[in-house]
Amino acid sequence: MTSGIATNVRLTGITKSFLGVPVLRGVDLELRGGEVHAVMGENGAGKSTLLKVLAGVHRPDGGTIEVDGAEVSFAGPADAQRAGIAIIHQEFTLLPHRSVAENVYLGREPVRGMQVDRRRMVADTRELLDWLGEDGIDPTDAVSSLSVAQRQVVEIVKALSTDARVLGMDEPTAALADHEVELLYDLVRRLRERGIAILYVSHRMREVFDLSDRITVLKDGRFVTCAPTGELTSEDLVRHMVGRDLGEYYPDRAAPDDLGPVRLAVRGAGNDRVRDLNIEVRAGEIVGLAGLQGSGRSAVARAVFGVEPFTRGVVEVDGVAQRVTRPRTAVRLGIALVTEDRKGDGLALRQSVRDNTLLVRRAALSGARSRAKSDVKALLDMVTVVARGEHQEVRFLSGGNQQKVVLAKWLAVEPKVLVVDEPTRGIDVGAKRAVHELLRDLAKRGVAVLMISSELPELIGMSDRILVMHDGAPAGELPAGASEGAVMALATGHGVGDAA
Amino acid sequence: MTWRPRLAEGTAPVLVVLLLLLVGLAIAGPAYDEPSGYLALLKRAAPLMILAIGQYFVIVSGGFDLSVGALVTAGVVIAARLINGSESATAWVILFVLGFGLLVGLVNGLVTTKLLVPSFIVTLGMLLVLDGAIFLWTGGAPRGALSAGFRMFGRGAVDVPVLGAVPWSVLILLAILAAAALFMRGGTGRALVAAGDNEAAVRLSGGRVDRLRLLAFVLSGLLAAVASILLGGFASVSAQVGNGLEFRAITAVVLGGVLLGGGRGSVVAAAAGALSLEALFTLLNLLGVSGALESAVQGVIIIAAVAYAALGSGVRQRLRLWPKQRNPERPAQPASS
């Protein structure tokens, strides 16, 4: 099984078009055993396609693939697998009700006589888990009993069990909670130590800097640069990715006289997940809500919006106490929620850009249909959606454009209070910037914005004030421009740090 | 922005199929040399098309309605018994039948949305309940007779300038189809499709998903009652008049390119699917194929249509003559807006 020989893969001049539209236009990439090679680029830069070429899912139109110096051609994923290349996809492919070992050897079960050799299956799986240093998982555990991070380990073990020496990982932290990300870092480092070559595709700048040895940047399907991670700064990287200098990342904060009256007030509120909440958000203000995953950040958003309502305390909108017990009430009061899962509950993916933009207006309001006709284009221009037209289905848009459509559907009802949960998760740098500017723009027009984000630079860069949650309750409030250390100190329950 | 005709995703194939069948009819049967032949086809197809329109509402919002065939039978049997040949009773019995359809739809919808029983099961149960009740009530041999006034809707015609005598059923069908198409263009209609696509997104947008679903079942029940009034005019009163119509309606909707499970498809295409089905059976009949094959043909169609939809973009992209959508990535820089 897994030996110590390092595998090298070299892709040279890879080109690939879909229906005549070039997606990759001559990309070079070299993967070495024992090295983490990150590929970065905006959505649509060609990262996923490159990964699929490597995995044998797509055949390149031009260019060569060499494994250990010998040129190869993959007719399908099975060929790539035989060459020792495996991909860990964003969506997990495990069967939840089967055991770890059964999943690892799914479809390739070792047999003895007429029967599946369970003992060997379990033993081999255990050996691989040990090799990785993952003793917290037992081969006989049902996958449904594992955490998301552990399931990722199983995916990796599954790949290793096919003697993979090259692993491609596509946004591996997207599904993970904050504390699980560290576990993944550890795992990736262990894989590197054991001579595996890793292709790491991610949007998150910090991860790439933490983990990778080299970084390749793609833009519009073209190879831009490849350099050792130590020789690049995050500014360099952004410049390479967007092809321009973004300079200052965030729009200006609100000046004191930009702030209007309190639009949203939560007083002494709580439910099963959060307690003792006192929040005020003024017109023109962006209030950041920080906290670790599971600290109750999103629970606050869901409670304000009536998904899981508060059971205690008072919610006031424009100074009037309201009982918000379901989303419909919230929408009609002028509260909007951009959820953290835009594909799961933000958009109807098979509907058109137009239908999604008008969804809130149609679903929640009545008698407003007459207004619904004319201004879709204006809304889409405002959020700078790039689509083939209003009738394109939103599932064909990039993540950034999808998120802009989510924002457009709320702008269509002119909310007073906008709650955004991870507004820039999984979208590219250019779209992030557009979303940030849009949020600030809305605040300037008198919307009260409550913003949740796991990305501290974003949260700090955007917020006029930061509320930090810890374990379901507010841990403190910090002024604009507080340091990451101060936020983390409160979020981890260590009181106000010295850096505030 | 200028208006341009636009086909919903998956609508084109059924229109091609329909056109081919109509051409086939013109070649195979002398009756289809003039408009009256097609008018007769449309008249025959009207009840199924109306059922398909009702079924469309339920399927596109993510459900099934298996009860419509039994509901059609119930409508005819109840009407015959209550009217019992008396002309004066016609008006209120028609209202009663429509009300009965609405009520059955309401029950289907409430059980599905409030008790969270899958609609497949709820409406299957309703089918069995209605079947059993009809049998119990009639003892297998329906009594009574329909009045001429009642039968006029299925049999009668009115003189329309240019076209000549147009059957009532065709006019009713066209009115319903136009109303349905208009409804689906409006806010509630679009929200109904969105609910079939992503229930959570509609709910978190402030929509009342349960009410939308309920509305779909009520419309389906109501339209099944309308279909029963038309069929009562065509056919003799029997306890078998609606047999198998639910599956025929589902086949028609699927043939119309509507996605099972909801979220995509057009109501006009669903109606076109029903017309295609009727045209196909007529053509087979003209070609001397045994009527016994009808259900086999229907079975093949429903499997083929769903398989075509499931194979989805893979096959369709290869069949597509021009690049309509780039799927995996956003390659070229689109014109900046």
Give the model confidence (pLDDT) of A26-35 as tens digits: 899 999 999 9
A405 at the B interface (CB within 8 A)? no
Dist. CA B217–CA B215, nearest whole Å = 5
Selected for mutation to probe chain B from A16, A17, A18 (highest B CB count within 10 Å) is A18
Give the other-Cβ count within 10 Å of B27's Cβ. Answer: 10
Contacts of B251 (CB under 8 A, 6+ apart): B273, B277, B298, B301, B302, B305
Q: Do A177 and A340 contact (CB within 8 A), yes or no?
A: no
Restricting to A residues 113-142, those with a Cβ less than 8 Å away from any Cβ of B are none
Q: Output the DSSP codes for A73-142.
A: --SSHHHHHHTTEEEE-SS----TTSBHHHHHTTT---EETTEE-HHHHHHHHHHHHHHHT-TT--TTSB
A167 at the B interface (CB within 8 A)? no
Dist. CA B337–CA B320, nearest whole Å = 27
Dist. CA A105–CA B184, nearest whole Å = 49
Dist. CA B99–CA B179, nearest whole Å = 19
B143 at the A interface (CB within 8 A)? no
Helical ranges in A334-483 per DSSP H: 353-357, 359-364, 376-382, 399-411, 429-444, 456-462
Contacts of A350 in chain B (CB under 8 A): 9, 197, 259, 263-264
Of A416, A421, A443, A423, nearest to A331 by C-alpha is A416
Selected for mutation to probe chain B from A359, A383, A409, A411 (highest B CB count within 10 Å) is A359
The distance of B206 to chain A (nearest Cα, Å) reads: 4
Question: Residue A348: which of B201, B259, B329 has the nearest Cβ?
Answer: B201
Q: Evaluate whether A9-242 and A256-491 have a shared fold.
A: yes
A334 at the B interface (CB within 8 A)? no
The distance of B270 to chain A (nearest Cα, Å) reads: 18
Question: Residue A43: which of B205, B263, B330 has the nearest Cβ?
Answer: B330
pLDDT of residue A96: 85
Taking only the tens place, the pLDDT of each residue in A126-148 is 988 888 888 788 999 998 888 87
Dist. CA A364–CA B249, nearest whole Å = 32
Contacts of A21 in chain B (CB under 8 A): 323, 326, 331-332
ipTM score assigned to the predicted complex: 0.82
The distance of A118 to chain B (nearest Cα, Å) reads: 35
Q: Do B334 and A378 contact (CB within 8 A), yes or no?
A: no
Which CATH fold would you assign to the domain A9-242? Rossmann fold (3.40.50)
CB contact under 8 A, A348 and B204: no
DSSP-based three-state secondary structure for A252 = coil
B43 at the A interface (CB within 8 A)? no
Taking only the tens place, the pLDDT of each residue in A428-458 is 778 888 999 999 999 999 999 999 998 888 8
Nearest CA in chain A to B324: A19
Task: Count interface pairs A-B at CB distance under 8 A.
Answer: 137
pLDDT of residue A200: 92
H-helix or E-strand spanning residue B191? helix B187-197
Contacts of B8 in chain A (CB under 8 A): none
CB contact under 8 A, A388 and B334: yes
CATH 3.40.50.300 at A256-491, yes or no: yes
* Percentage of chain A exceeding pLDDT 70: 93
CB contact under 8 A, B326 and A396: yes
In order of their start, the domains of chain B are: 12-314 (1.10.3470)
A385 at the B interface (CB within 8 A)? yes
The residues of chain B scoring below 70 in pLDDT are: 1-10, 312-337
Q: Provide the residue ranges of all domains of chain A, joining segments of one domain with +.
A: 9-242, 256-491
* A351 DSSP 8-state letter: S
Burial B192-203 (b: 16+ CB within 10 A, else e): bbbbbbbbbbbb
A312-317/A262-270 β-pairing:
antiparallel
Contacts of B331 in chain A (CB under 8 A): 17-18, 21-23, 44, 46, 220-221
Question: Residue A331: which of B206, B264, B336 has the nearest Cβ?
Answer: B206
CB contact under 8 A, A386 and B191: no
The distance of B225 to chain A (nearest Cα, Å) reads: 29
Contacts of A73 (CB under 8 A, 6+ apart): A59, A65, A79
Dist. CA B271–CA A206, nearest whole Å = 55
A364 at the B interface (CB within 8 A)? yes
Of B203, B185, B271, B334, nearest to B11 by C-alpha is B271
Per residue of chain A (500 residues), what is the pLDDT tens digit? 444 456 689 999 999 987 667 789 889 999 999 999 999 887 667 888 899 899 898 899 999 999 988 889 898 888 898 888 988 876 677 888 889 999 998 888 888 888 888 899 999 999 888 888 887 889 999 988 888 788 888 988 888 888 888 999 988 887 777 777 888 888 899 889 988 999 998 877 788 888 999 999 988 788 888 989 988 887 788 778 766 544 457 888 888 888 999 999 999 999 999 999 999 999 999 999 998 877 889 999 999 999 999 999 999 999 999 999 999 999 999 999 999 888 889 999 999 999 999 999 888 887 655 455 568 888 888 888 888 888 888 988 888 899 999 999 999 888 999 999 999 887 877 888 899 999 999 999 999 999 999 888 889 889 999 999 988 899 999 998 888 778 888 887 765 444 33
Dist. CA A192–CA A328, nearest whole Å = 50
Contacts of B210 in chain A (CB under 8 A): none
Of A208, A203, A202, A200, nearest to A230 by C-alpha is A208
Contacts of B76 (CB under 8 A, 6+ apart): B142, B146, B228, B231, B232, B235, B237, B238, B241, B242
Q: Do B91 and B246 contact (CB within 8 A), yes or no?
A: no
Nearest CA in chain A to B333: A220
Place of tokens 């059609």: B72
Nearest CA in chain B to A358: B187
